[in-house]
């Protein structure tokens, strides 16, 4: 799996409260390459990314973790632990490359995981913009137990014959908005698990894929102009 930038934009992955997009010009910047990451697509750069995260969490001022152009190989990595900084932005100009062999990640169930801060678990105030996820081995993006999440301009791509490659999976979360995104997979474009409330999906191009699937019985499901683009859909659990 690789996470790629849109050809005309830089990816901003903003994790508010374990992260927020700052308007401050005084933000410190930690370049993962300067911390030992190699942009050759094969050298394990996991430790350098974790070092950047640790520095960001210890900083008393806004921080940008910057991934320059190039291909950066990462094994499964958890951005977690105690973080004293609520203003951290990940700015990705390059490509993040996952192991090609499934057994490298094994039973971890994730590749890149933000804990208490792709999966995002038990986090709040998350913004993901312009992200492209290519050929994940399983779910591409998982939002679990989160509050106030916005995904915009996301692109997910996998073979139409690849099983269990849901584009975006949301569960046990509230206040999630998915806008202006293109999703093509071998499974659900968006899957909605139990405990999800106040979910808004608008202008989603889906295909190949199984569309938007609600995996639990909800009290209210409303869809307007609901064709394959998932033009507008609202779910209140």
What string of DSSP letters covers 93-148?
-SEEE--SSHHHHGGG--SEEEE---EEES-EEEEEESEEEE--SS-SEEEES-EE
Sign of torsion over alpha carbons 73, 75, 79, 82: negative
Enumerate the β-bridge partners of residue 142.
119, 169
On whether the CB atoms of residues 160 and 186 are closer than 8 A, the answer is yes
Tokens, residue 213: 């699937």
Tokens, residue 150: 């916005």
On whether the CB atoms of residues 56 and 63 are closer than 8 A, the answer is yes
Which of 116, 187, 220, 236 is flagged as catalytic? Answer: 187
Enumerate the β-bridge partners of residue 88.
63
Tell me how far apart the alpha carbons of residues 89 and 193 are, in angstroms, rounded to a whole number: 28
Sign of torsion over alpha carbons 203, 143, 151, 42: negative
Q: Is the peptide bond before 208 cis (omega within 30 degrees of 0)?
A: yes
**187 labelled catalytic:** yes
116 conformational bin, left if phi > 0, alpha if psi -120 to 50, beta if neither: left
Which of 116, 203, 210, 236 is flagged as catalytic? Answer: 210
Cite the active site residues: 187, 210
């Amino acid at each position: 799996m690789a996470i790629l930038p849109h050809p005309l934009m830089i990816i901003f992955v903003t994790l508010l409260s374990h992260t927020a997009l700052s308007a401050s010009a005084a933000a410190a910047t930690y370049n993962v390459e300067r911390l030992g990451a190699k942009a050759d697509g094969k050298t394990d750069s996991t430790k350098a990314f974790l070092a950047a995260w640790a520095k960001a969490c210890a900083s008393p001022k806004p921080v940008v973790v910057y991934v320059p152009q190039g291909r950066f190989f990462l094994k499964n990595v958890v951005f977690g632990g105690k973080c004293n900084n609520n203003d951290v932005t990940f700015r990705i100009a390059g490509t993040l490359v996952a192991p090609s062999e499934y057994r490298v990640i094994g039973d971890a169930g994730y590749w890149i995981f933000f804990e208490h801060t792709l999966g995002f678990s038990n986090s709040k105030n998350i913004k993901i913009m312009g992200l492209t996820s290519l050929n994940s081995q399983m779910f591409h993006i998982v939002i679990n137990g989160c509050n106030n999440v916005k995904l915009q301009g996301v692109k997910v791509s996998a073979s139409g014959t690849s099983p269990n490659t849901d584009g975006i999976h949301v569960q046990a979360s509230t206040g999630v908005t998915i806008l202006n995104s293109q999703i093509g997979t071998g499974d659900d474009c968006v899957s909605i698990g139990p405990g999800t409330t106040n979910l808004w999906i608008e202008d989603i191009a889906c295909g190949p894929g199984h569309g938007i699937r609600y995996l639990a019985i909800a009290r209210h499901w409303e869809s307007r102009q609901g064709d394959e683009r998932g033009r507008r859909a609202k779910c209140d659990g």
